Structure 1
Amino acid sequence: MNKTKALKITYDERLMIVHDALVYNRDFKYHVSYQQVYTWVRKYESQGAQSLENN
């Protein structure tokens, strides 16, 4: 069984990824799943940047 390590994405990295996704027509070029970026973008759009902080 091939396990992959989850990447540790910081708040600043999430904010940058969301910004790039919004500015560049959501053309994702990171080693993060489309679903994860989509979730961050929706949270950012509805709740602001503070929603991207770790719980």
Structure 2
Amino acid sequence: MYVLNRREELISYYERHGYTKKGIIQHYPLSLNVGIPKLEVSLIELIKHII
């Protein structure tokens, strides 16, 4: 799952529910015509291992 790096409260929520940061950071996908952010943002990958 990818979460915007500016959404620290959302990242904390997912970490409390078993997700961990994988360490992969990607640029915001401007080429997909999803809008231009007013602030510089990137995407952080989170992963959850299910047993």
TM-score, structure 2 length as denominator? 0.25
Pick 1 or 2: higher relative contact order, CA cutoff 8 A, min separation 6: 2
TM-score, structure 1 length as denominator? 0.25
Structure (1 or 2) with the greater strand fraction: 2
